[in-house]
Amino acid sequence: MNEGQPESWFGFRRVDAAQKTELVRAVFSSVASRYDLMNDLMSGGIHRLWKSAMIDWLNPRGGQRFLDVAGGTGDIAFRILERAPEATVTVCDLTPAMLEVGRDRAIDRGLLASGPGGMNWISGNAEALPVVEMGFDAYTIAFGLRNVGDQQKALREAYRALRPGGRFLCLEFSHVAVPALARLYDLYSFKVLPWLGQQVVKDRDSYQYLVESIRRFPTQDRLAGMIAEAGFQQVTYRNLSAGIAALHSGWRI
């Protein structure tokens, strides 16, 4: 590993943050065209309910500027604009192939123009966002933070991007709080999911990475501590589906 680089994990492999970024980009480049289909298949559509819960808590309003980091194919951005058509959403993602799929979806929906009620698509790393300081009213990240090499750095960047009074909201896989469910979930994660990945998209490794990265991600309380460490206040979280996923919220005061 390179000296001076913070240590992180690619699944169960210890790598440095820069290596992880490259490996993650390769994973999402390879799954981009099938990503939306696989999401539905693997979660039985439940990711849609979790994303709706995120938008409910976010409560977007017209005129607000949103930054959706690790926005991928635009799911969160589209939901924000459905709820608040006069809002502006900037989608930022590491993987150009994911953004391309998202932009195609935006064109199909007539949502490509920037400005009020529009979308911007930018390529960039959550650890060093290519955006101005204090330029946004809210920062969202859904199923993205787990993939970032240096997560604490990404949280500090979220803080930098938000104006005072701005909102941070993170949706991520988390840790199951009910032991009986945890065993079932383990079985599904380590046996069924990689198998599904192989059958449907002939890509067992990407889905093995998904499962491992979920296990290595900080617990709900640890993540809340990291968000507070980045400077956010009033940090709270809500478990979704008994902790299979969690929503973390914080404010830049």
Ligand X SMILES: C[S@@+](CC[C@H](N)C(=O)[O-])C[C@H]1O[C@@H](n2cnc3c(N)ncnc32)[C@H](O)[C@@H]1O
Binding site for ligand X (CB under 6 A): 21, 24, 28, 69-72, 75-76, 93-95, 98, 125-127, 142-144, 147-148
Q: Please answer whether residues 232 and 245 qualify as being in contact, where contact means their C-beta atoms are separated by less than 8 angstroms.
A: no
Beta strands in 76-193 (DSSP E): 88-93, 119-123, 136-142, 162-173
Return d(Cα 152, Cα 85) in angstroms, integer: 32
Pick between residue 26 and residue 178 the one whose CB is nearest to ligand X: 26
Q: How far is the CB of 179 from ligand X (least distance, A)?
A: 27
How does DSSP classify residue 219? P
Dihedral, CA of residue 74, residue 231, residue 226 and residue 153, to nearest 10: 60
Pick between residue 43 and residue 178 the one whose CB is nearest to ligand X: 43
The position carrying tokens 């009020």 is: 116
Q: How far is the CB of 31 from ligand X (least distance, A)?
A: 9
Q: How far is the CB of 34 from ligand X (least distance, A)?
A: 12
Three-state DSSP class for residue 163: strand
Q: How far is the CB of 72 from ligand X (least distance, A)?
A: 3
Closest-approach residue to ligand X (CB): 72
Q: How far is the CB of 232 from ligand X (least distance, A)?
A: 19
Q: Please answer whether residues 52 and 79 qualify as being in contact, where contact means their C-beta atoms are separated by less than 8 angstroms.
A: yes
Pick between residue 24 and residue 138 the one whose CB is nearest to ligand X: 24
Pick between residue 123 and residue 234 the one whose CB is nearest to ligand X: 123
Q: Please answer whether residues 159 and 230 qualify as being in contact, where contact means their C-beta atoms are separated by less than 8 angstroms.
A: yes
Pick between residue 21 and residue 64 the one whose CB is nearest to ligand X: 21
H or E, element range at 196: helix 193-201
